[in-house]
Structure 1
Amino acid sequence: MANIQGLSAANMTPCTPSMDAAREALSTYFGYEAFRQGQEVLIGAVLSGRDALGIMPTGAGKSLCYQIPGIVLPGLALVVSPLVSLMKDQVNALIDAGVRGSFLNSTLTPGQQRTVLARAEAGTYKIMYVAPERLADPLFREFASRVEIPLIAVDEAHCVSQWGQDFRPAYTGIADFIESLPKRPPVIALTATATDKVRRDVSVLLGLRNPECVVTGYDRANLKFGVEKLNPKQKRTRIAQFIAAHSGDSGIVYCSTRKDVDGLSGWLAAEGLPVARYHAGMNKAERDDAQERFINDDAPIMVATNAFGMGIDKSNVR
């Protein structure tokens, strides 16, 4: 793995990495020669010690807006994320890129959690993903008071506002955690969806201080919506025809009920198609296996309820 200290530019001090260091990290770890729209402004704000708020569509590269600062800043950057699957995917991708990443969530045993915290305190990691509920844990707060935290990133930041408070009430405690730290770090909040009101809520409820705000728009030119009106008896045949016409692609078929997921996935499998299924009625081992098969293209067709998909990073979903 490349030496983090080796990313320093000549005009840069260890405490204030420059955009040159950020660009070098972008190239060294992620293979890109230039930032996408909005990324450089947000990263520059964070590196200068300023809070930031980014409203960018899915696929626009929000993760790099905190991963790059996490790499070049000294200490351990914390990323608050509501999705276990996203944490796992992001950390795996970081490790593959040569970045020392980790996550701390309920999928780890108490012993594994203690090991992660001990390694983090010893400086093993640059970036750690945590669930918002973790921030209220006295043991975690004690840990956070002892380590250098140069940045806190809040992913899916819209969860602090309106319906999000019901979805993950712990998001409302993030500001309290930030203020409890011995030294307040810059905070960056990121989401793909935010009205003007939600944007204001995010800024106020997270306690952002004069944040740099970047809104890159919501248009996704590579997405298409279509509607077909079918007799219910025609649905399975039409789905099979569509899959056959896109045999080189990967995709997700969403069903409204678990029963429909089981029925359709079983029927597609009987037709000889490489299919996996995913819903909340399956046990964790089954869900994890289905997700891995989908991610690795062993089962490029996923039949699922809306319990699946959010936070899954897969480049060839069509």
Structure 2
Amino acid sequence: MNLEVKLKEVFGYEKFRAGQKQIIEQVLSNHDTLGILPTGAGKSICYQLPAVIQSGITLVISPLISLMKDQVDQLNITGIPATFINSTLNEQESKERMQQVLQGHIKILFVAPERFELETFNHFVKSLPLDLIAIDEAHCISQWGHDFRPSYLTFAHHLRSLPTQPTVLALTATATPQVTSDIQTLLSISANHTVKTGFLRENLHFEVVKGIEKRSFLKKYLHAQEALSAGIIYASTRKEVDEVYTWLNNQNFPAVRYHAGLSESERQHNQEQFLFDEIPLMVATNAFGMGINKPNVRFVIHYGMPATIESYYQEAGRAGRDGLEADAILLYSPNDLRIRNFLIEQGDGDEQHKEQAYEKLRQMQAYTHSETCLQRYILQYFGDEGENCGKCTNCLDDREQLDITVDAQKVLSCVIRMGERFGKTMVAQVLVGSKNKNLTKWNFEQLSTFGIMKQHSQKNVGELIDFLVAEGYLQVTPGKFPLLFVSTEGHQVLRGHLNVFRRAPFVTVAQNETGDNFNSKLFDHLRTLRLEVAKDEGVPPFMIFSDSSLKDMAEKSPQDETSFLSISGVGPIKLKKYGQEFIQVIQNFNNKK
């Protein structure tokens, strides 16, 4: 079978993205597979296409209850019969859907992992002609993952007892080497059948913005857009979400909000307004992080620092899922760290869990102070390598780097003279010659490094220490109160074998790109039609056509069915359902030129 032909026929795409075809071929050859693909790389195709080809049923395990309905709606529009069973249904509705599946009317069934805790459901699953079990967000099975869920371990024990011995496909976008190994062990997937395409998202522009008033930046950024595009603004707390949401609307930037303190009906209503392109801005806590499948999000702004690089990359990855240019911007202030430390302390985890949380938070903080390529920093965190992206804030900063080797040596020397037994605050106080009485009991005022940087403020010295940690010259011990010690590279600096360079913060706002023949007015007409069709069918607009499909239409201006079929995301099914309406709009637009 020609998989490319089937891909175009069902989904309207001419070719596979990186990793998709290899994963699908392994699945069709009955090899249990782990797929590690970045957010927006098309993981769902890896089980949807096999589901169409195989004769049996595909079961998808997903923690994203709020996303299941969207996935099912989109599959049904594509012509693939699908349904879901989760806690949003009553008992009678669940029974009716189970009957649909048993009668052979469904190809793909979505369920939450908690379903496997019900004996009746386990009996039901054993009676199905299962060909494939797809495990979405597979990192949740690992205790080393940023979103570990015990329910994932529960259902994993049931997989090998299924009579049809279905193939297992585990999918995730955020797996460190440790998490990858854990998934392979728990699901008995060999390294030879693990497909990792890399974590690179070439269409994302990463920015870290420091030393600014956050609301001023937001206002300037949103005003800079020609038309207010869809965007998500993540905040650390419910209170902060409410404050930003209220301020945006007072500034005439239409926004809705999403957090666990709102009623279920309000959250659902706000999410639908955002999905249906009725309101462009969503302000949310990370409760919204795993429940959104909106391809045309043009920017994700973190109003505060997230807790982990995994969660940051996953949330930032909500931007540009259609493959078009998008911004991922982190607004950082020192208070973000205090909030995150407080949230860890107030959490329910044991000491080991908290120690792990502090370590991940330090890695996130190091990201905000690094002056290397931001995309590359993230790739290296996930055990991946890559070239500098050439478009993040650090890569775009072409100003001359200053040699700060002498200042770095002062800091490193001070850490050693203090016995490598103290944290950032105490080291900074010694360097600026603070009169804090706590220093005298350690006789630190007698050190040669005491006051050696008194011309600087303690805040500036603290930021220098953060930079040296981010660049690997200093390292920190685990735990709530991390202690500084000098790394191998740091010792080379002290010996004069390495120089240290540093730049001042740099801010840029990346611009979205379109082709030379792109017609923005035609694009607006096509968006209007898409919204009308979506309202008639009761689904979000992106399920009709993505923004990238509309932009392709606005650039190529197809005037007949043959040329319309060449548009990305248009297959025979969508051509038959929507082709004439969209072609007519394009023809009318061109006739009025």
Give the structure-1-normalised TM-score: 0.88
Q: Which residue of 2 aligns with 1:238?
A: 217
Note the C-alpha offset of 1:308.
0.9
Q: How many Å separate the matches in 2 of 1:120 and 1:244?
A: 50
Going from structure 1 to structure 2, the CA distance change for 1:274 and 1:216 (only over 3 Å counts) comes to: same
Q: Which of 46, 65, 72 is equivalent to 1:65?
A: 46
Contact 2:234–2:286 under 8 Å retained in 1: yes
Deviates more, 1:264-273 or 1:112-121: 264-273
Three-state SS of the structure 2 residue aligned to 1:106 is: coil
Three-state SS of the structure 1 residue aligned to 2:256 is: strand
Q: Which residue of 2 aligns with 1:308?
A: 288
Q: Which amino acid aligns with 1:129?
A: F
1:101-142: per-residue Cα shift (whole Å, max 9, x none)? 111111111111111111111111100111111123111111
Specify every segment of 5 or more residues in structure 1 that has no aligned partner in the other structure, as ranges: 1-17
Q: Which of 238, 247, 271 is equivalent to 1:258?
A: 238
1:178-230: per-residue Cα shift (whole Å, max 9, x none)? 11211211111111122222212111112336762111001112222223334
Q: Which of 122, 125, 148 is equivalent to 1:167?
A: 148
Note the C-alpha offset of 1:52.
0.9
1:99 correspondence with 2:80: yes
Bigger relative contact order, structure 1 or 2 (CA pairs below 8 A, ≥6 apart):
1
Contact 1:174–1:206 under 8 Å retained in 2: no
What pairs up with 1:64-143 in 2 under 5 angstroms?
64-143=45-124
Going from structure 1 to structure 2, the CA distance change for 1:193 and 1:210 (only over 3 Å counts) comes to: closer
Q: How many Å separate the matches in 2 of 1:86 and 1:160?
A: 19
Note the C-alpha offset of 1:173.
2.0
Contact 1:53–1:211 under 8 Å retained in 2: no
Going from structure 1 to structure 2, the CA distance change for 1:30 and 1:166 (only over 3 Å counts) comes to: closer
1:188 correspondence with 2:175: no
Q: Which residue of 1 aligns with 2:247?
A: 267
What pairs up with 1:13-52 in 2 under 5 angstroms?
18=1, 20=2, 22-52=3-33
1:280 correspondence with 2:296: no
What pairs up with 1:197-216 in 2 under 5 angstroms?
197-208=178-189, 212-216=193-197
Note the C-alpha offset of 1:164.
4.4
Q: How many Å separate the matches in 2 of 1:45 and 1:223?
A: 30
Three-state SS of the structure 1 residue aligned to 2:272 is: helix
Q: How many Å separate the matches in 2 of 1:165 and 1:224?
A: 24
Going from structure 1 to structure 2, the CA distance change for 1:126 and 1:252 (only over 3 Å counts) comes to: same
Contact 2:32–2:167 under 8 Å retained in 1: yes
Note the C-alpha offset of 1:307.
1.0
Deviates more, 1:203-212 or 1:175-184: 203-212
1:53-75: per-residue Cα shift (whole Å, max 9, x none)? 11111111111001111111112
Contact 1:159–1:167 under 8 Å retained in 2: yes
Three-state SS of the structure 2 residue aligned to 1:228 is: strand
Going from structure 1 to structure 2, the CA distance change for 1:210 and 1:142 (only over 3 Å counts) comes to: farther
Q: How many Å separate the matches in 2 of 1:166 and 1:55?
A: 16
Three-state SS of the structure 2 residue aligned to 1:190 is: strand
Going from structure 1 to structure 2, the CA distance change for 1:249 and 1:206 (only over 3 Å counts) comes to: same
Contact 1:274–1:298 under 8 Å retained in 2: no
Q: How many Å separate the matches in 2 of 1:279 and 1:210?
A: 39
Specify every segment of 5 or more residues in structure 2 that has no aligned partner in the other structure, as ranges: 299-593
Note the C-alpha offset of 1:76.
1.3
Q: How many Å separate the matches in 2 of 1:88 and 1:307?
A: 17
Q: How many Å separate the matches in 1 of 2:87 and 2:119?
A: 16
Q: Which amino acid aligns with 1:223?
A: L
Name the % identity.
48
**Structure index of larger Rg:** 2
Q: Which amino acid aligns with 1:258?
A: R
Q: How many Å separate the matches in 2 of 1:26 and 1:95?
A: 16
Q: CA RMSD in A?
A: 1.8
Q: How many Å separate the matches in 1 of 2:14 and 2:201?
A: 23
Q: Which residue of 2 aligns with 1:149?
A: 130
Give the structure-2-normalised TM-score: 0.48
Contact 2:81–2:105 under 8 Å retained in 1: yes
Going from structure 1 to structure 2, the CA distance change for 1:165 and 1:114 (only over 3 Å counts) comes to: farther
Note the C-alpha offset of 1:40.
0.8
Contact 2:115–2:121 under 8 Å retained in 1: yes
Q: Which amino acid aligns with 2:175?
A: A
